[in-house]
Amino acid sequence: MVFAPDTAEALEAAVILANSALEPDTLTTVEDLSAFYEGQGYSGSHRGDRAELDAVRAVRARLRVLLLADRDAAVGQVNEILAGASAVPRLVRHDKLDWHIHAVDDDAPLAERVLVETAMAMIDVVRADEMGRLGVCAADDCDGLVLDLSRNRSRRYCSTTCGNREAVAAYRARQKA
């Protein structure tokens, strides 16, 4: 296990959210946001309205910058996010989840909670000096973020679609040679 479970989950959610902004944008409706919320097992406030959707859409660029930042730059961003949200980390246990960290109230806006959870997760990434776990997809013409939690650091593509596409391209290139 590279990171604690809640850290890994927060990073996964942040990557999915940041990647949803790639063309074609896959977070355009309130229903899309509800699917993300439920798919990532969020708890706490979820208004399910247009304002919430717009706020979550608006943090995606900031998440991408943070997830791809070098170590020192990430520190500045993490500290700024946590101070801006007046984060107070505490351990909580709820639903079926074992002890994990919440740093803002459950009724804080969803966009703010996503941002703070990502910042909290990046604390672990920075401290462990594991920035290399985050990168950009190795496929041509893909800007997707990749989170590599594999033991042997072998993950290169943002999705199986990209991995398959590159495998086919490599096969064709070999046939021509």
- Closer residue to Zn ion in complex, CB, 56/158: 158
Least separation in angstroms between residue 44's CB and Zn ion is 7
Give 109's contacts (C-beta < 8 A, 6+ positions apart).
45, 52, 55
Query: Contact between 111 and Zn ion (CB under 5 A)?
Result: no
Q: Where are the alpha helices (DSSP H) in the chain?
A: 5-19, 30-39, 50-68, 71-84, 110-127, 160-176
Which range in 7-15, 79-87, 118-126, 142-150 contacts Zn ion by CB under 5 A? 142-150
Q: Which residue has the tokens 């042997």?
A: 152
Query: Contact between 119 and Zn ion (CB under 5 A)?
Result: no
The footprint of Zn ion on this chain (CB under 5 A) covers a number of residues equal to 6
Which range in 49-57, 104-112, 113-121, 133-141 contacts Zn ion by CB under 5 A? 133-141
Question: Measured at the alpha carbon of residue 47, what is the angle toward residues 45 and 50, in degrees to the nearest 5?
Answer: 140
Partners of 136 in beta bridges:
145
Query: Contact between 139 and Zn ion (CB under 5 A)?
Result: yes
Using CB under 5 A, list all residues that contact Zn ion. 137, 139, 142, 144, 158, 162
